[in-house]
Structure 1
Amino acid sequence: MKKNKIISIIAAIILTAFGLLTLYLSSSILFDWFGVRAKQGNYVLFIVGTNFLCSILYLTAAYGLYKSKEWTFKLLLTALILLSIGFIGLLVHISMGGLYETKTVGAMIFRIVLTIGFIRITKKLLKK
């Protein structure tokens, strides 16, 4: 098996795990599974919605990465754009005195950095 294929598989597995975790956490709040919404404190609904959309993009991109599809890059770039817009919206929400959890800021920065990392990996693996 080629080195790039092994890296693609590992990256796809990690992206799948991250996508599934994101899907579970965001949908738990959106659909109030197991009473999670009450335990989350001051969540910001549009950030939860953004994360939910990105989870679907992550899972689809993981498949694309595994199958070496060129559209994978575009999906991850779309996720990055959504996260960036969401983060800017979060900063505006905070500056206007909106309620939020401090961990949300760190989580958004982590997601953006991780998505950039997956974009770079995808670009390297799929360039022809």
Structure 2
Amino acid sequence: MKKTILLIFLLLFGIVTLFMSSSVLFNWFGIRAKEGNFVPFIVWANLLCGILYLITAYGILKNQVWSKVPLIVSLIILVLAYIGLFIYINDGGIYETKTVGAMAFRIGVTALFLFITLKIFKK
């Protein structure tokens, strides 16, 4: 049951992340204008993590122990991007305040996904 719930959340989070990130980067449906002052490297990091969430979901569906690896990589990417965001802000870069909170949320959710995945495949 825990595995099924994790799988569903990973799929939903991955699909939404891919859609929103690619919409901002490629200006689909006019979403770029609605996002305001986005930070491109943050959006690229999120896009990459969206792909990694879907890879993890596939691994969990196939009951593969390696499923934790894409989440570990995602967490590293997000933490590095978050550090980069603070450097960017400190250097006077233009950004939206919501980006800081959204990245903290994404790091927390990814850490939670990783924690649950580790518990599922603990041997």
TM-score in same-fold range (> 0.5): yes
Selected match of 1:61 from 41, 56, 64: 56
CA distance in 1, matches of 2:6, 2:34: 32
Q: Where does residue 15 of structure 1 map in the other structure?
A: 10
What is the aligned length? 123
TM-score (norm 1): 0.93
Selected match of 2:74 from 60, 63, 79: 79
Q: What is the root-mean-square deviation in Å for CA atoms of aligned residues?
A: 0.7
- Give aligned-pair identity as a percent: 53
CA distance in 2, matches of 1:116, 1:37: 28
CA distance in 2, matches of 1:65, 1:116: 16
1:119 is displaced (CA, Å) by: 0.7
- Deviation string 1:93-115 (CA, Å, 9 cap, x unpaired) is 00111000011000100010111
CA distance in 2, matches of 1:64, 1:9: 12
- Partner SS state of residue 56, structure 2: helix
Bigger Cα displacement from structure 2, 18-27 vs 33-42: 33-42
The 5 A counterparts of 1:1-128 are 6-128=1-123
1:79 is displaced (CA, Å) by: 0.2
Q: Where does residue 3 of structure 1 map in the other structure?
A: none
CA distance in 2, matches of 1:125, 1:98: 41
- Deviation string 1:46-74 (CA, Å, 9 cap, x unpaired) is 00000000000001101112222111111
CA distance in 1, matches of 2:10, 2:101: 19
TM-score (norm 2): 0.97
